[in-house]
Copies of this chain bind each other. A is one copy, B any other.
Amino acid sequence: MKCKTTIYAVVFFSFCIYGFIVVPQTKNNSILKISNETQDCISCHESVTPGIVSDWRTSLHSKNTFELAEQKPALEKLVSSSNVADNLKNVVVGCYECHSLNAIKHKDNFDHFGYKINVIVTPKDCSTCHSQEYNEYSNSKKANALDNLRKNFLYHTLVNNTIGTKDYKHGKIITLEASSFSKNESCYACHGTEVKVIGTIKVKTDLGDIEEPKLTNWPNQGVGRINPDSSKGSCTSCHPRHSFSIAVARNPNTCEQCHLKPDVPAYNIYIESKHGNIFESKKESWNWDNVPWKLGKNFTAPTCSVCHNSLITSPAGDVIVQRTHDFGSRLWVRIFGAIYSYPQTKDGRTYLIKNKDGLPLATTFTDIPASDFLIDAKFQNQRKETMEHLCSSCHSTDWIKSYFEKMDTTLAEADKMVAVSTKIMLNVWGKKLADKSNPFDELIEQKWVQQWLFYANSLRYSAAMSGPDYAAFENGWWQLTKNLNEMLLIAHQLENGK
């Protein structure tokens, strides 16, 4: 640690003499300016947190100013705001440019060696240059992922049953309230936490003690995080700091972190598909950074982002689909069954849904859709056509039509398998063999949850992206069938035990 102190001192004083440390250059060798404030940050953090500074140096942020980025041709442009404050225009996007924005709204702002710094850079801050992305994102299901979980009493019950610690008393298992830590380390890691400032803490550094904001539910990078400036989301979920790479965001491994088996086996099924096979075999030869992303030239098979959100053009540069940061907006049907599949919701805040039984679910337990909250057939068709247009870059019309016909059938069959499982439950609940007021805590109920959350979802995602082996034996048909037998066995035992 002594060594570090020395480096500190040397770097700090070097800075005082030279006044700047880093001068990145653009390709045409013109020198880009780093703001004095950011130079000050770097002068210390180069040795205190060298990984962050190194990572930032690999970013486009370190090699661009807003003015340069703004001059790019429309399809190559990565900024969407029409203007920014003068002090941001001609300097590279450095530490201070991001960590000082909208300070007044940031409850996590604190004095850091004379600078007013926000601990967390939020989507609202990013919107300074990327306003369109922010706007699209803000109304999405992702941005509302935290409330969609905690404000839906059924989902909340499922979460608490699952991750609350248990006790065993008088021959019974009792579920305790889940801790905020457990939530942040499981469900809410992806859905996001509410990060609040609850005081300050003193942190020892080689330059003396610092007083920093003490944050709750932190660290967290969930997509629906509620930030200390009240904004929603976390851009770093997919564009991890401090390289903020578009290549990383386009990589299916990034989506994998949350869209993973057994409940959302999107990644697993993609990788098993022919598309995933081509990705795995050829990814090293692809250009992961080019904007716009040219089909057949920069990449040769779809990835998650190709179908769901990237700006895609033909090899010649003609737009096939526009970029969107509302990730469900190209989809017509929601295949994450809860408990059946249904048309996409009109609003990203799914906790607002109320079905005919008064439950916050898009369908009743007997599969009656809450149509008022779901997009209509016309809108569904429009979205399907957008997707088919993208598919048609590599597939013929009859191929595509047959593919989606097959998918529709499988969705219906998956829903039917859920319906028959639910029929058993309705019988069990009806006879008071299980307590419906909490539908997730008894063994037979948990087996029922697996039917729709794990196994039927596997069929559905497989239908959408083609992972036949996954749907057959890995976590789909075989388990749906066998687990149905297990549900029936327990139902009989409950009945006979009466």
Contacts and interface: CB of A to CB of B under 8 A. Distances in A.
A481 interface: yes
Contact of A281 (B47, B251, B274, B300): B251
A413 interface: yes
A416 B469 CA distance: 27
Interface stretch (A23-31, A211-219, A343-351): A211-219
A462 interface: yes
Contacts of A186: 462, 468-469, 471-472, 476-477
A187 interface: yes
A396 B47 CA distance: 13
A417 interface: yes
Contacts of A212: 396-398
Nearest to A47: B314
A36 interface: no
Interface string A445-463: 0100000011000000011
A278 B278 CA distance: 21
A277 B190 CA distance: 14
A187 B50 contact: no
Contacts of A115: none
A173 B485 contact: yes
A257 interface: yes
Interface string A385-402: 000010011111111011
Interface in A205-236: 205, 212-215, 218-219, 221
Interface of A: 1, 3-4, 7, 47-55, 58, 119, 161-163, 165-168, 171, 173, 179, 181-182, 184-187, 189-190, 201, 203-205, 212-215, 218-219, 221, 240, 243, 245, 247-248, 251, 253-254, 256-258, 260-263, 271-274, 276-278, 280-282, 284, 295-297, 300, 314-316, 318-319, 389, 392-399, 401-403, 405-406, 409-410, 413, 416-417, 420, 423-424, 442-443, 446, 453-454, 462-463, 466, 468-474, 476-478, 481-482, 484-486, 488-489, 492
A420 B165 CA distance: 9
A253 B274 contact: no
Contact of A256 (B277, B417, B462): B277
The oligomer's copy count stands at 3
B166 A315 contact: no
B165 A413 contact: yes
A54 B247 contact: no
Contact of A474 (B221, B262, B284, B319): B262
A166 B201 CA distance: 59
A9 to B, nearest CB: 14
Nearest to A409: B181
Interface centre among A165, A221, A462, A489 (most CB of B within 10 A): A165
Interface centre among A167, A201, A446 (most CB of B within 10 A): A446
Given A165-B416, A295-B50, A469 B184 contact: no
17 contacts: A49-B393, A50-B314, A51-B300, A162-B478, A165-B416, A181-B405, A182-B477, A185-B410, A185-B466, A203-B397, A204-B397, A212-B398, A257-B272, A258-B469, A260-B470, A443-B482, A453-B473
A62 to B, nearest CB: 13
Contacts of A274: 221, 240, 257
Nearest to A489: B443
A91 to B, nearest CB: 22
A185 B394 contact: no
A68 B324 CA distance: 47
B240 A277 contact: yes
B240 A253 contact: no
Contacts of A482: 443, 446
A53 B47 CA distance: 44
Contacts of A476: 186
Contacts of A488: 168, 171, 173
Pick the 9 closest A-B CB pairs, nearest first. A54-B296, A189-B468, A51-B394, A186-B472, A181-B409, A253-B280, A443-B485, A51-B393, A251-B281
Contact of A394 (B55, B260, B261): B55
Contact of A163 (B171, B396, B472): B472
Given A49-B394, A203-B401, 12 more contacts: A51-B296, A52-B394, A54-B297, A54-B300, A179-B409, A181-B406, A182-B413, A186-B468, A219-B399, A248-B281, A260-B470, A446-B485
Nearest to A219: B399
A35 to B, nearest CB: 21
A102 to B, nearest CB: 20
Contacts of A214: 398
A485 B442 contact: yes
